[in-house]
Structure 1
Amino acid sequence: MKHLLILNDPPYGTERSFNGLRMAHALAKHDPEGDITVFLMADAVLCAKAGQKTPEGYYNLEKMLGRVLSAKGRVLMCGTCMDARGLTITDMMQGATRSTMDELAEATLVADKVLVF
Structure 2
Amino acid sequence: MKYLFVLNDPPYGTERSYNGIRHARELLKNQEAGNEVHVFLIGDAAACAKSGQKVPQGYYNVESMLQMLVRHGAQIAVCGTCIDARGIADTDLVTGGVRGSMAMLAEWTGWADKVIVY
- With the length of structure 1 as denominator, give the TM-score of the two structures: 0.96
Give the structure 2 partner of residue 79 of structure 1. 80
Mind listing any 5+ residue stretches in structure 2 that lack a counterpart? none
Shift of residue 45 of structure 1? 0.7
RMSD: 1.0
4+ residue stretches of structure 1 with deviation over 3 A? none
- Is residue 7 of structure 2 the alignment partner of residue 7 of structure 1? yes
Cα shift readout 1:44-90 (whole Å, capped 9, x = no counterpart): 01001010111111000000001110111100000011111111111
For residues 31 and 93 of structure 1, the distance between their equivalents in structure 2, rounded to whole angstroms, comes to 24
- With the length of structure 2 as denominator, give the TM-score of the two structures: 0.95
Name the % identity: 52
For residues 92 and 111 of structure 1, the distance between their equivalents in structure 2, rounded to whole angstroms, comes to 24
Give the structure 2 partner of residue 42 of structure 1. 43
Aligned 1:1-117 pairs, distance under 5 A: 1-31=1-31, 33-117=34-118
For residues 60 and 67 of structure 2, the distance between their equivalents in structure 1, rounded to whole angstroms, comes to 13
Mind listing any 5+ residue stretches in structure 1 that lack a counterpart? none
Q: In the alignment, residue 6 of structure 1 is paired with which amino acid? A: V
For residues 80 and 35 of structure 1, the distance between their equivalents in structure 2, rounded to whole angstroms, comes to 26
Secondary structure class of the residue paired with 1:9: coil
Equivalences, count = 117
For residues 105 and 81 of structure 1, the distance between their equivalents in structure 2, rounded to whole angstroms, comes to 16
For residues 27 and 46 of structure 2, the distance between their equivalents in structure 1, rounded to whole angstroms, comes to 21
Secondary structure class of the residue paired with 2:29: helix
